[in-house]
Amino acid sequence: MVKKIILNADDLGFSLGVNEAILNANRDGYLSHASLMANTKYFDHAISEVIPNCPSLKVGVHVNLTCASPLFSQNLLSIKGELKNTFITLLFRRKTKKVLQHLEQEIELQILKIKNAGINISHIDGHEHVHIIPSINKIVRKLANKHNILRVREINENIFESYQFNGRTASFANVIKLFLLKFLSLFNENSREIGFYSMLNTCEINSTNLFAFLQKSKNYSVVEVMVHPGILSIDSAEYFESLNERFATFLKDGHRKSEYGLCFDKRFENFKNCDLI
User: Tens of pLDDT along 169-204?
Assistant: 999 999 999 999 999 999 999 999 999 999 999 999
Q: What is the C-alpha to C-alpha distance for residues 45 and 21, in angstroms, rounded to an integer?
A: 13
Can you say whether the dihedral through the CA atoms of 143, 155, 193, 189 is positive or negative? negative
- Does residue 154 surpass a pLDDT of 60? yes
Q: Alpha-carbon distance 108 to 106, whole Å?
A: 6
Asked if residue 59 lies in contact with residue 114, where contact means CB atoms within 8 angstroms, the answer is: yes
DSSP H/E element including 135: helix 134-146
Burial (0-12, 13-18, 19+ Cβ within 10 Å), 84: middle
- Amino acid in the structure at residue 93: R
Virtual torsion, Cα 18, 23, 27, 28, nearest 10 deg: -40
Residue 273: pLDDT over 90 = no
Between CA 196 and CA 105 the distance in angstroms is 28
Q: Which residue type, as a one-letter code, is found at position 273?
A: N
Say which residues have a Cβ less than 8 Å from residue 238's Cβ, sequence separation at least 6. none
User: What pLDDT was estimated at residue 75?
Assistant: 85
Residue 275 binned pLDDT confidence (cut-offs 50, 70, 90): low
Domain boundaries, the chain: 4-273
Q: What is the topology classification, in CATH, of domain 4-273?
A: TIM Barrel (3.20.20)
Measuring CA to CA, how many Å separate 164 from each of 143, 160, 161, 210, 216?
36, 6, 5, 12, 11
Produce one character per residue of 16-50: b if its CB has 16 or more CB atoms within 10 Å, e if not: bbbbbbbbbbbeebbbbbbbbbbbbbbbebbbeeb
Q: Could you report the per-residue pLDDT of 18-51, keeping only the tens digit for each?
A: 999 999 999 999 999 999 999 999 999 999 999 9
- Phi, psi for 36 (deg, rounded to 5): -100, 130
Q: What is the pLDDT of residue 74?
A: 85
| Residue 242, phi then psi, degrees to nearest 5 | -80, -15
Going from the C-alpha of 243 to that of each of 41, 83, 110, 218, the distances in angstroms are 11, 12, 20, 41
Q: Which amino acid is at 192?
A: R
Average pLDDT on 80-108 reads 96
Return d(Cα 147, Cα 115) in angstroms, integer: 9
